[in-house]
Amino acid sequence: MMLNFFDQFMSPTHLGIPLMALALTLPWILFPASSARWLNNRLLTLQGWFINRFTQQLLLPLNLAGHKWAAILTSLMLFLITLNMLGLLPYTFTPTTQLSLNLGFAIPLWLATVFIGMRNQPTIALGHLLPEGTPTPLIPTLIIIETVSLLIRPIALGVRLTANLTAGHLLIQLIATAAFVLLPMMPAVAILTTAVLFLLTLLEIAVAMIQAYVFVLLLSLYLQENI
């Protein structure tokens, strides 16, 4: 039987029923619930500190109108980090390796920022399509270029997250397969390959967190342009 490295990215099914909804629901179950006590345990304290620091950093360049997005962006950040981290466990499925899911996150939120800009400041929002001081012959060309660059933003968000996670998972599987094959023939090389696999896993943990942060950060920058 030939090994297909892309089988790990197929949506899991059980009795013909897609389990994507279960994979998306599981992360919310893992978060500890807040309590009414004055002093919480260490996990809740650490979680609250992380959320507060991230929210402050994210909303720093935004005005008061953008602070309404704090709950959405922070929840999306935690959700993406949890999905990416759970996908690094053995025999698990990573929903964020699916381009359709990432575009489902990116397109509605990007459209919301565009609609906010067109409603609150239509002149400034449309002015982004034509830089100030543009020569007259270049105006039609620049408008087309800026429109395409605006429309490609949600696609870039989804493709960036999908490509980074997919590449990392493929590298981990390739190196793990190589270590398993080399173990009976060249044990020393297999041990060295396993060490490389361990370092790559640590790198993928960092990538899983950074890509979730970059996704939300770019959304906040798009929001900043339209408020």
Tokens of 39: 């002093």
pLDDT tens digits, residue range 22-74? 777 777 777 766 667 776 777 777 878 888 888 888 888 788 777 888 889 88
Q: Are 8 and 169 in contact (CB under 8 A)?
A: yes
Please state, in angstroms and rounded to a whole number, the distance separating the CA atoms of residues 19 and 92.
12
Q: Compute CA 158 distance to the chain's CA centroid, rounded to the nearest angstrom.
A: 8
What are the backbone dihedrals phi and psi of residue 166, each rounded to the nearest 5 degrees, phi first? -65, -45
- When computed from its CA atoms, the radius of gyration of the chain, rounded to whole angstroms, is 22
Instruction: Return the exposure string of 154-178: e unless at least 16 CB atoms fall within 10 Å of the residue's CB, then b.
Output: beebbebbbebbbebbebbbebbeb
**What's the average model confidence in pLDDT over 103-120?**
91
**Token digits for 225?**
């342009």
* pLDDT on residue 2: 43
**Span 184-193, average pLDDT:** 88
CB atoms under 10 Å from CB of 117, counted, come to 19
The per-residue pLDDT for 47 is: 79
The mean of the pLDDT values for the chain is: 84
- Return the minimum-mean-pLDDT range out of 9-13, 66-70, 97-101, 180-184: 9-13
| pLDDT number for residue 64 | 79
If 0-12 CB within 10 Å is exposed, 13-18 middle and 19+ buried, where does residue 212 land? buried
Angstrom distance (rounded) from CA 225 to CA 11: 36
What pLDDT does 6 receive?
A: 66
In the structure, what pLDDT confidence band is assigned to residue 100 with cuts at 50, 70 and 90? confident
Residue 110 contacts residue 219 (beta carbons within 8 Å): yes
The pLDDT assigned to 203 comes to 92
- Of the pLDDT bands very low, low, confident and very high (cuts 50, 70, 90), residue 5 is low
Given a cut of 90, whether residue 190 has pLDDT beyond it is: no
Q: How confident is the model at residue 140 (pLDDT cuts 50, 70, 90)?
A: confident
Confidence of residue 125 (pLDDT cuts 50, 70, 90): confident
Beta strands in the chain (DSSP E): 13-14, 17-18
Tokens of residue 133, six digits = 């001081």
Secondary structure letter of residue 9 according to DSSP: G
